[in-house]
Amino acid sequence: MRPTALITGASRGVGAAIARALAPTHDLVLGGRDRATLDAICAELPAARPWVVELAELTPADVAGIDRLDLLVHSAGIAKLGRLADAPAEMWRRTMEVNVIAVAELTRLLLPALRAARGHVVLINSGAGQRANPNWGAYAASKFALRAYGDVLREEEHAHGVRVTSIFPGRIDTDMQRDVRAQEQGPYEPGKYLDAESVARAVLAAVTATPDAHVTEITVRPAAGPTR
């Protein structure tokens, strides 16, 4: 029986790249909000099925029937920039809700299935989860929190055989990065960014490690671009 992977944010960008990388070896549950986009990628990957969900409004019913899960990849996230003096509470709440709280709740609901499979949780973090910069306050805070969450989850679930990997990529050539650069009012320079496929390969490296090796963190930076 092939292992099963659930990937959030799978309709585009890094999530879609991870889905394509895992498709030869895994049955896939692809999470996202847009049914049409998910259906399109599932048509491309016959071993995939769509999971239409609003992560910020997750309920136990959304994961009903998932009794065993080998891999959970958290790739969904948002990035809203602004100076601390101009960042309203709603921006902080929404950022934390999507980037941290939804991750924690989905993982909590799926822990029985992950424990049953002695599975693996992969958190797509960010360089902003290692170093905070001006105008990135809410986003960096959410990613530092996500890093702490991963560290605690790793220690708490070790006895159940669940592995946890945090991946810290630099800037990636995605639609999300286009939005970030628009917020920064700067040029979009894809040649200076990582390919989404490069992040997917980092995920593969973590989940295909030999049984004696627990890959806890991977940092990936663009060879030609900024380090943050």
Q: Could you give the strand order of the β-sheet that contains 217-220, starting from the edge strand earlier in sequence?
A: 48-52, 27-32, 4-7, 71-74, 120-124, 163-169, 217-220
188 assigned to active site? no
* pLDDT attached to residue 228: 54
* pLDDT attached to residue 227: 52
CATH 1.10.10.10 describes domain 4-220:
no
Single out the residue of 18, 213, 9, 220 nearest to residue 130, CA to CA.
Answer: 220
pLDDT tens digits along 30-54: 999 999 999 999 999 989 999 999 9
Model's pTM, two decimal places?
Answer: 0.96
Across the range 157-172, mean pLDDT stands at 98
Catalytic residue among 139, 149, 188, 193: 139
Interatomic CA distance for residues 111 and 171, integer angstroms: 30
Please say if the pLDDT value at position 1 is more than 90. no
Please say if the pLDDT value at position 225 is more than 90. no
Task: For the chain, give the percent of residues with pLDDT over 90.
Answer: 97
Please say if the pLDDT value at position 124 is more than 70. yes
- Pair 109, 65: CB distance under 8 Å: no
Distances (CA, A) of 63 to 1, 11, 105, 139, 219: 21, 18, 11, 27, 30
- According to DSSP, the residues that pair with 30 across neighbouring strands are 7, 50
pLDDT category at 224 given cuts 50, 70, 90 is confident
Distances (CA, A) of 56 to 33, 73, 96, 163, 170: 11, 16, 10, 24, 25
Single out the residue of 12, 9, 110 nearest to residue 63, CA to CA.
Answer: 110
pLDDT tens digits along 126-159: 999 999 999 999 999 999 999 999 999 999 999 9
- According to DSSP, the residues that pair with 7 across neighbouring strands are 30, 73
Task: For the chain, give the percent of residues with pLDDT over 70.
Answer: 98
Interatomic CA distance for residues 57 and 195, integer angstroms: 31
Domain ranges of the chain: 4-220
